[in-house]
């Protein structure tokens, strides 16, 4: 198993203890694309920080390729190279004078040969669709917000992680920036066969990308299944104050009004076809 | 705004090139545009956080270039930003909401009344003594809005106030905005990347590379799907689905929302 969480409980000790994660058991296989959803404070960010050893659980084991990383003997630097984490608003962490230096920062710490570093910087800027020769010498601080976000993501990709975790990567991006990001994640998953864990409040993204959706509430896993299975739990999601993808919402409402349509379709053209077929069935002419 | 241009000191291309607009009291205007189109710059000009490089801006007939008017304009035009954590400064909700008022030298009893009234308006009554960092994103953003309301502004400019919020938080903020506009007649200028949110405004302005390239009621703006795509924007999902159905030969009227589409199909 690539990632295995066993009986994880995490308690933040402030003025009074807060249970952030409550007895979590979860296995993630290679090449899965996990969509992690839940309202603010449900435990998503705590969960992903456990996975690369940024925090240690109060109780339980975090196993990466069957090695428990919560014991003292594990080299966390290696774990963090294997499991890349893109934080919320990662562009706030850009600090170097040029785009090149910023993306090269992680690989340099791996003591790689200069030509390997250069190759990695070039490849990862290519992945995020930033032209290498055009941008390498620019200051990251004179780029647009969307471009800064892509440079920050390139910095994590340059570590060649096996697993990529992203916490709300599309927040604040314009529609085109969001589409580019979705295409990037699709590419990383399908072509480069990376394992991806995506935290997002945008159910459209989750429905289009994820192979498995995990819903968290009050530190517990409350739903766990394919997008079709999870988004079929409409009442449950509403109780948790979560949205359905809008396309699913439309199909549900039509079904309620007597349309015989499937509700597990997440593409616009697929939904249109389904609706049209039903309308033609009803009024054959 | 008349022929307004704004150029940042270290950039060649002006952030705003030639902006002409007039917004009436009580309007609810949404501004959409890709990252870097000039939306946030425009917002900052409206309450004198920036001054125009060229052109003229008046707020309630007060010219922003006249320094004597700066504070009066800032009192009339309140601002709410994307990240609630950067806007809340005090350790208790009521102190946060009172912050601006204390700076104006308003007497204590009046502050009390205004703070309580503002919290009621954003549906956060009862949270007076809570710690802001323990609130949800939507609650924090509503406290930030209360801090602005307590100043009794005529207009509130919100720059992507829901970008960091979960669906519940987004809904809370949108409901609050609608209430303030409809019931309290506060003018709203709402910047967003969520096309579904923009479709709730009375009027939508579309910005591209420092200019307003389109404006109109949402039903009109969001029907020019190709135009919007060209400038990296999108349309609400219901509009996309309606378009797709039309392409497949079904006659569907122009709709904006999920409700609208479902109604016309049934």
**pLDDT tens across A63-76, in order?**
999 999 998 788 88
- pLDDT average, residue stretch A238-260: 92
Query: What element of type H or E holds B100?
Result: helix B93-104
How far does A73 lie from chain B, in Å, by closest CA? 35
CA distance B132 to chain A (A): 14
- Whether A241 sits inside 8 A of B168 (CB atoms) is yes
The two structure tokens encoding residue A218: 């009050």
Do B34 and A175 make contact, defined as CB atoms within 8 angstroms? Answer: yes
Tell me which residues of chain A, numbers 261 to 280, contact chain B at a CB-CB cutoff of 8 Å.
268-269, 271-273, 275-276, 279
* Residue boundaries of the structural domains of chain B: 2-217
Q: Which of A243, A247, A258 sits opposite B167 (nearest CB)?
A: A243
Per-residue model confidence (pLDDT) at position B10: 78
Chain A residue numbers with beta carbons less than 8 Å from the beta carbon of B196 are 246
- For the segment B64-96, what is each residue's pLDDT rounded down to a tens digit? 999 999 999 999 999 998 887 888 888 999 999
Find, in chain A, the residue whose alpha carbon is nearest to that of B36: A144
Q: Give yes or no for residue A265 having a pLDDT over 70.
A: yes
B260 to chain A: nearest residue by CA?
A: A250
- Six token digits for residue B27: 């309007």
A173 vs B136, B193, B195: nearest CB: B193
Shortest Cα–Cα distance, A197 to chain B (Å): 18
Distance CA B136, CA B169 (A): 8
Chain A residue with CA closest to B136: the answer is: A40
Q: Residue B6 and residue B53: Cα distance in Å, rounded?
A: 5
Contact in structure between B118 and B149 (CB atoms under 8 Å): yes
Contact across the interface for A144 and B35, Cβ inside 8 Å: yes
Q: Which residues of B81-101 are buried (b: 16+ CB within 10 A; e: fewer)?
A: bbbbeebbeeeebbbbbbbbb
Domain edges within chain A: 245-285
B168–A39 CB contact, under 8 Å: yes
Q: Tell me the backbone φ, ψ of residue B138, rounded to 5 degrees.
A: -65, -40
- Comparing alpha-carbon positions, the chain B residue that sits nearest to A200 is B166
Which of A176, A201, A258 faces B167 most closely, judged by CB atoms? A201
- Classify domain B2-217 by CATH number: 3.40.50.300
Task: Confirm or reject contact between A187 and chain B (CB < 8 A).
Answer: no
Nearest Cα residue in chain A from B247: A272
Q: Is the CA virtual torsion A112, A114, A115, A119 positive or negative?
A: positive
pLDDT of residue B104: 82
Report pTM: 0.87
Residues of B whose CB is below 8 A from A250? 237-238, 241, 258, 261-262
Of the candidates B166, B233, B250, the beta carbon closest to that of A276 is on B250
Would the pLDDT of A285 be above 60?
no
B106 to chain A, closest Cα gap in Å? 34
Question: Does the pLDDT of residue B116 top 60, yes or no?
Answer: yes
Please tell me which residue of chain A has the smallest CA distance to B8.
A142
pLDDT of residue A228: 94
Distance from chain centroid for Cα B79: 8
Is A89 strand, coil or helix? coil
Q: Tell me the per-residue pLDDT of B179-237, one tens digit each, with 9 for 90 and over.
A: 999 999 999 999 999 999 999 999 999 999 999 999 999 999 998 888 998 898 888 89
The arithmetic mean of pLDDT across residues B161-170, rounded, is 87
**Closest-CA distance of chain B to residue A258, Å:** 9
pLDDT of B128 above 80: yes
């Amino acid at each position: 198993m690539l990632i295995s969480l066993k009986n994880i409980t995490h308690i933040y000790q402030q003025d009074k203890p807060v249970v952030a994660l409550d007895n979590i058991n979860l296995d993630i296989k290679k090449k899965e694309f996990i969509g992690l959803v839940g309202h603010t404070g449900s435990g998503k960010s705590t969960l992903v920080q456990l996975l690369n050893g940024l925090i240690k659980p109060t109780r339980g084991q975090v196993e990466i390729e069957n090695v428990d990383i919560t014991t003292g003997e594990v080299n966390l630097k290696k774990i963090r190279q294997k499991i890349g984490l893109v934080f919320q608003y990662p562009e706030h962490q850009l600090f170097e004078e040029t785009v090149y230096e910023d993306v090269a920062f992680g690989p340099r710490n791996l003591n790689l040969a200069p030509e390997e570093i250069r190759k990695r910087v070039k490849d990862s800027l290519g992945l995020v669709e930033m032209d290498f020769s055009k941008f390498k010498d620019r200051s990251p601080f004179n780029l647009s917000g969307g471009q800064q976000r892509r440079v920050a993501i390139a910095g994590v990709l340059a570590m060649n992680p096996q697993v990529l975790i992203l916490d709300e990567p599309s927040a604040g991006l314009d529609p085109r920036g969001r589409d580019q990001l979705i295409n990037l994640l699709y590419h990383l998953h399908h072509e480069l066969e990376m394992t991806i864990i995506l935290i997002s409040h945008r159910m459209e993204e989750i429905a289009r990308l994820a192979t498995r959706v995990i819903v968290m509430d009050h530190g517990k896993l409350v739903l766990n299944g394919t997008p079709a299975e999870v988004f079929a739990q409409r009442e449950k999601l509403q109780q948790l104050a979560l949205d359905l993808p809008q396309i699913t919402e439309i199909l549900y409402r039509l079904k309620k009004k007597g349309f015989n349509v499937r509700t597990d379709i997440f593409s616009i053209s697929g939904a249109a076809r389904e609706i049209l077929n039903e309308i033609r069935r009803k009024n054959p002419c | 705004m008349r022929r307004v241009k704004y150029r940042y000191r270290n950039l060649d291309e002006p952030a705003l090139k030639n902006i002409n607009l007039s917004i009436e009291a009580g309007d609810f205007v949404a501004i959409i545009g890709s990252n870097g189109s000039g939306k946030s710059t425009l917002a900052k000009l409206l309450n004198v956080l920036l001054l125009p490089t060229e052109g003229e801006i008046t707020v309630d007939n007060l010219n922003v270039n006249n320094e004597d008017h700066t504070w009066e304009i800032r009192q009339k035009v309140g601002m709410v930003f994307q990240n609630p954590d950067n806007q809340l400064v005090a350790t208790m909700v009521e102190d946060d909401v009172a912050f601006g008022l204390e700076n104006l030298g308003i007497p204590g009893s009046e502050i009390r009344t205004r703070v309580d009234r503002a919290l009621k308006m954003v549906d956060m009554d009862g949270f007076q003594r809570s710690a802001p960092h323990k609130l949800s994103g939507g609650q924090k953003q509503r406290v930030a809005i209360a801090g602005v309301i307590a100043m009794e502004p005529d207009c509130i400019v919100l720059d992507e106030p829901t970008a960091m919020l979960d669906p519940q938080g987004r809904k809370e903020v949108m409901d609050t905005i609608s209430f303030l506009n409809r019931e309290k007649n506060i003018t709203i200028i709402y910047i967003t990347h969520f096309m579904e949110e923009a479709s709730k405004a009375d009027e939508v302005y579309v910005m591209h590379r420092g200019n307003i390239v389109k404006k109109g009621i949402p039903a009109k703006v969001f029907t020019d799907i190709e135009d919007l795509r060209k400038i990296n924007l999108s349309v609400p999902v219901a509009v996309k689905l309606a378009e797709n159905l039309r392409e497949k030969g079904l006659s569907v009227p122009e709709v904006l929302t999920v409700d609208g589409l479902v109604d016309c199909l049934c």
